[in-house]
Amino acid sequence: MTSRRRASEGRRGTQCGVTLVELMVAMTIGLLVILAASIAFLAGKKLFNADADVQATQDSLRFARYVVQSVVRQAGYADYAPDRLSDGVAVIASNAVLLGNGAGTDELNVVGATNATVKSNDGSIGAHDTDDKAQNDSLLVRFFGRSKADADVADDTIIDCLGHPQKGPSATPTAADRVWSFFYVSVGSDDVPALYCKFRTKAGGFHSEQLARGVEKFKVVYGYDGDGDSVPETWLDAKAIDARAKAAGTQVSVEWRKVVAVRVGIVVRSDRANGDLKKIEGQSYTLYPLGPAFKDVAFEPPDDGRFRSVATFTLMLRNVVKDPA
């Protein structure tokens, strides 16, 4: 009995432990499992971040496009329906006068500047070729608002670039009654470029707010109708339109009133860089904000690994741009 018990205890003792080799093998397998799980987690996180960056870039681009399209479609709008005492004939007459008498660009429905640096708190649209680095354009759109039929308050159908409802003009409309929506690109305090909206405040001053983050390029060309058939013969930037006026010896406003369409190109970049998006050595990476037909408006992004999305759209101006007479 004693010998059998000792043999049994000896067998149990050998089964309670592992050898050094077995321990090392088990630790190696455990480390491999942890390493594989870590790689899978990091890959999943990277994929999630990349997808979030792409979605944010596309959302910013869609929003910027929607706002610019909505505002440009309102260019030159006036409420011609005589449903209020201050509407009807007075608005039609004043709109024609504003369009016909302005010698400069102060009364135009659509005007802009090419490669322009813009101030955020005044009524300037910027000067041509003052933005040598980013080479972004500016775009100003003017129109009247609309009030409710039974009250001197906005009916929420006409808004500015920030979505503020705009009420109709006074009984004798003036240029100050017109809504003022202005688009330009600037770099914020966080060193990120963005599309800004500059608008006229109720006090008569000007204020700017960030509209869409990450907008790196904002280019605008205009459909120029030289023969008056409402069909553009060519596309010109703001600088070229001003040059035509100078060459013809006419007022700048005369040439701008021949604009019947607007074409806008927008490039939006992601906030974060992605290492997998580095350029292949020897290959160029060129974007055309206004489309392949506008080869002279090319943008070669820096090799920073950021996602970029491009939107190009064309809008025919709905409302009168010339003196109706």
3-state secondary structure of 320: coil
* Residue 77 to residue 141: CA distance in whole angstroms: 10
Does residue 36 lie in a domain region? no
Looking at residue 149, its pLDDT comes to 75
Domain that holds residue 231: 47-316
Does residue 66 lie in a domain region? yes
DSSP letter string, 68-112:
HHHHHHTTT----S--STTSTHHHHHHHHHHHHH-SSSTT-SEEE
Looking at residue 282, its pLDDT comes to 52
Is the separation of the CB atoms in 237 and 137 below 8 Å?
yes
Does residue 13 lie in a domain region? no
Looking at residue 51, its pLDDT comes to 81
Closest CA to 107 of 137, 144, 142, 73: 142
As to burial, measured by CB atoms within 10 angstroms (0-12 exposed, 13-18 middle, 19+ buried), residue 292 is exposed
pLDDT, averaged per 10 consecutive residues of the chain (325 residues), comes to 57 65 87 88 79 89 95 86 55 56 72 92 88 92 84 84 86 78 90 92 86 95 90 94 90 88 95 70 77 91 88 88 52
Does residue 8 lie in a domain region? no
DSSP type of residue 276: G
3-state secondary structure of 138: strand
Does residue 301 lie in a domain region? yes
Does residue 74 lie in a domain region? yes
Q: How many domains does the chain have?
A: 1
Residue type, 35: L
Looking at residue 250, its pLDDT comes to 84
Does residue 23 lie in a domain region? no
Does residue 325 lie in a domain region? no
